[in-house]
Chains A and B, each alone.
Chain A
């Protein structure tokens, strides 16, 4: 069964980190309420370079991913979900997702939830 966008810590963490003005500041919470944010596309995030080619999207996504993870990990208490995974490869998976126009915040929450165990889960 595919991952569902719902009122849990994994989805809330993505939503808050993306939307808070003092975090990644990607969209206005009034225009994109939490209940509808699961379908929000990566291409519609403020940082996404629509005119960019694949290398440019990757470069922008890598920089963005770095800032996103810095805020998320400072705001939420997280442990690794499984042992033995290459940390660099995990980040690369997140970068790949953040450089893919038609992925959504639900896809991002699902990927992070498969790698991170949140303290309140």
Chain B
């Protein structure tokens, strides 16, 4: 009988992450997480990281403030709605001391150049990127370049119910993915990807202490185009992952993830319970 490993990941929500964020400066988010593998019977401390730096160019001429002048939303709209070009770098992943203990090890680093257009409740990003996708130390990796199209649309006045969708088409070089090269000599291929985030927030606020406030679904799907038979037979032609989050009043939330991305381990279920200090107010 196939044994399905279950991994319990408890976020150390009470530990404040180190966060540095400022305009046009690199954003570095580091958050410790405790990863407990029931299959391996191990508990390990991990570090979840996100790094991002973006440089914007083009677009409207710079609008500046004048002390004492009335601020209107029209000024804000005039300065921020519209399009501009950008180049940027981002990287994310989770690091553990022993990578064998890391069930969610897929890490990415990307260089991007694109066009961004913002219209308040709608935004669009499109462009080209070059990415590395690998395990936590990139000893196993794919390199790729391709096109992306990301969009955001909010349906509500309070901007709390929305959909964010990302589409990608990449040409991949998998020569340094030993799991793949052991199965096939075809180490370059095309891949289509979809990332979807749906957020639904209750219009009428729940007045119960721990009432539900919002629901989230995040879904990612990758599919290799015209995959060789050996890859299809090994179930490596498609990957998908999904996370479902229920948010409650006072900072309590429950998240459940399943599926796996290309360099994740086969441990395919992650359950997370988190809370912020608001719970104890």
What is A's interface to B at a CB cutoff of 8 Å? 21, 23-28, 30-32, 36, 39-41, 43-44, 46-47, 49-56, 59-60, 62-64, 66-70, 73-74, 77-93, 96-97, 99-103, 115-117
Contact = CB atoms under 8 A, between A and B. Distances in A.
A46 B164 contact: no
Given A56-B164, A67-B121, 10 more contacts: A31-B207, A41-B277, A46-B160, A46-B247, A47-B214, A51-B218, A63-B123, A84-B65, A88-B62, A115-B65
B70 interface: yes
B209 A67 contact: no
A28 B251 CA distance: 13
A38 to B, nearest CB: 11
24 contacts: A25-B160, A32-B278, A39-B278, A41-B276, A43-B251, A44-B278, A47-B158, A47-B162, A49-B197, A50-B253, A51-B216, A52-B218, A54-B27, A54-B90, A60-B159, A62-B123, A73-B73, A78-B70, A88-B62, A89-B23, A97-B21, A99-B21, A100-B21, A102-B17
Nearest to B80: A91
A87 B65 CA distance: 6
Contacts of B29: 54, 100
Given A30-B207, A50-B255, A88-B79, A43 B276 contact: yes
Contacts of B77: 66
Given A36-B281, A43-B251, A60 B164 contact: yes
B73 A74 contact: yes
Nearest to B21: A96
B24 interface: yes
A102 B19 contact: yes
B120 A63 contact: yes
A59 B21 contact: no
Contacts of A86: 62-64
A-B pairs with the 5 shortest C-beta distances? A87-B79, A47-B160, A80-B65, A59-B152, A51-B218
Contacts of A63: 120-123, 152, 154, 159, 162
Interface in B8-24: 16-17, 19, 21-24
Interface of B: 16-17, 19, 21-24, 27, 29, 50, 52, 62-73, 75-77, 79-80, 90, 92, 118, 120-123, 150, 152, 154, 157-160, 162, 164, 166, 197, 199, 201-203, 205-207, 209, 213-214, 216-218, 243, 245, 247, 249-251, 253, 255, 274, 276-278, 281
Contacts of A85: 64-65
Contacts of A28: 205-207, 249
Contacts of A32: 278
Contacts of B80: 66, 87-88, 91
B224 to A, nearest CB: 22
A48 to B, nearest CB: 8
B247 A59 contact: no
Contacts of B70: 77-79
A83 B65 contact: yes
Nearest to B210: A31
A47 B150 contact: no
A53 B160 contact: no
A92 B24 CA distance: 8
A40 to B, nearest CB: 6
Contacts of B72: 73
Contacts of A93: 22-23
B158 A60 contact: no
B27 A64 contact: no
Contacts of A25: 158, 160, 203, 205
B205 A80 contact: no
